Amino acid sequence: MRLSARSGWPSEPSPWAEAVARAKAHAKAHARARAEDGNDLVDLTLTNPTAVGLVHDAALYRALGTEAAARYHPRARGSAEARAAVAGYYARRGIAVDPERVLLYASTSEAYAQLLAIVADPGDAVLVPRPGYPLLDMLGDVVGVRRVPYPLAFDGAWYLDRTGLDAALSAEPRARAIVVVAPSNPTGHVPTADEQAALRARAVAHDLPLLIDEVFADYPLRGDVSTRCFAAHHDVPCVVLSGLSKVAALPQLKLSWAVLHGPSAEVDELRARAELAADAFLSVSTPVQLALPRLLEAAEELQPRIHARLRANIARIATLVRDQPVDLLPADAGWTALLRLPSVDGLDDLGWALRLLDAGVLVQPGFLFDLGAPPRVAMSLLTPPEVLDEGMTRLLRGVAAAIDR
Ligand SMILES: Cc1ncc(COP(=O)(O)O)c(C=O)c1O
């Protein structure tokens, strides 16, 4: 059997994945004894809301059991009612969306894959932010599309490095789209109005669509951040991706959407092709489409609890690292905090994450997001407060111990 070159991913777990598996197995094997001496592994990486107590009232899930789900009316773009519910979600945020310009998918990842296949041929490239969301690499491989990184840089705050973006664009003749993750995972950066204009100007100049992943747009971490970036402009085709996984903290229900903005002729062509591709999959289940209006209402009810957790956690981390050799990097929005760790002992981000694992706390080393030097680690802001406190205590103890060696 001969398999594709592009699916020849490494089959061996990375040293980091092995170390995490070992630490988890060890913690499990010694669960009882370790719980007694308070030394089990504290996981600060959980971003699955259903694993950290951020769940809806049980009655909501019954909305999925409606009898209307007995009948199947396949619709490539998703049912008109479900698409209208997506438009309603945006209307509540002051953004006009035509339900005819909405397509439903099973996940944002699936939307990426299908849409990348429409904007790019195998061997073509898309511009992606670095540091950034690691799954984009895998999704690009699946559809045979290369990723060309453009830099987000840090000088006390994250910003779009326009020189780097221009260099990436002019070096890549086969670029077919610019992907913008806004708010960014893991940096939490939201492009300023100037940066948005710069991205649109490049898209126009190079005749490229923008693919905007705004799955975290409902989660600003500061009052003065406006996370809705690109919908208001019509100078460039712009595909905005989001979905229930983050908006309603319901990753298990598998429903996401793409909203097409921009010049009619180009959007119509994009939509026609996207619809044909989606028709080959018909991947969104009937029960979740029928329940979507109710699920999006429930999202509005749950989101204040998520906001409260995110903001309490970020404030708590800021307090705990004060006067410590650890910096909390500023973030505009999202579910992730980045910590800058001291440069000691030749430790890079992987070295630090391994050291912290030994100290009984799991964080993500920056290399997973292409963060590079200096050493930085990521942690989830969805972490339950008592777990966060214990994890941060161990982290700061682990840092102090490394400095003292
Ligand atoms: C930036 C970003 N985009 C997309 C996704 C995936 O969303 P979905 O569950 O809808 O595939 C994630 C998941 O963590 C993410 O961080």
Q: Domain-by-domain residue ranges, the chain?
A: 14-55+302-404, 73-299
Q: Is it the case that residue 195 has pLDDT exceeding 60?
A: yes
- Ligand 1 in contact with 213 (CB < 6 A)? yes
Residue 112 Cβ contacting ligand 1 at under 6 Å: no
Q: Mean pLDDT over residues 153-157, rounded?
A: 96
Average pLDDT estimate for 285-303: 98
pLDDT-derived band at 37 (thresholds 50, 70, 90) equals low
Query: What pLDDT was estimated at residue 34?
Result: 53
Distance between CA atoms of 383 and 312, rounded to whole angstroms?
11
Query: 363, 340 in Cβ contact below 8 A?
Result: no
Nearest residue (CA) to ligand 1, atom 9:
245
Predicted local confidence at residue 33, as pLDDT: 59
Q: SS3 helix, strand, coil % of the chain, rounded to 5?
A: 50, 15, 35
pLDDT tier at 14, thresholds 50, 70, 90:
very high
Asked whether residue 311 carries a pLDDT value surpassing 90, the answer given is yes
109 C-alpha to center of ligand 1: Å?
7
Residue 74 has pLDDT above 60, yes or no: yes
Which pLDDT does position 39 carry in this prediction? 59
Q: Is the beta carbon of 109 within 6 A of some atom in ligand 1?
A: yes
Q: What is the mean pLDDT of residues 178-200?
A: 96
Under the banding of pLDDT at 50, 70 and 90, the label for residue 38 is low
User: Which tokens hold the place of 77?
Assistant: 């773009």
Q: Classify domain 14-55+302-404 at the CATH topology level.
A: Aspartate Aminotransferase, domain 1 (3.90.1150)
pTM assigned to the model: 0.96
pLDDT band at 288, cuts 50/70/90? very high
CA max distance for the chain: 67
Whether residue 183 is preceded by a cis peptide bond, meaning omega within 30 degrees of 0, is yes
pLDDT tens column, 212-222: 999 999 999 99
Mean pLDDT for 37-54 is 89
Q: Which of 11-20, 51-60, 230-239, 277-286 bottoms out in mean pLDDT, i.e. has the lowest?
A: 230-239
Report the CATH architecture of 73-299.
3-Layer(aba) Sandwich (3.40)
Instruction: Please indicate whether residue 214, judged by its CB atom, sits closer than 6 Å to ligand 1.
Output: no
Q: Does ligand 1 have an atom closer than 6 angstroms to the CB of 256? A: yes
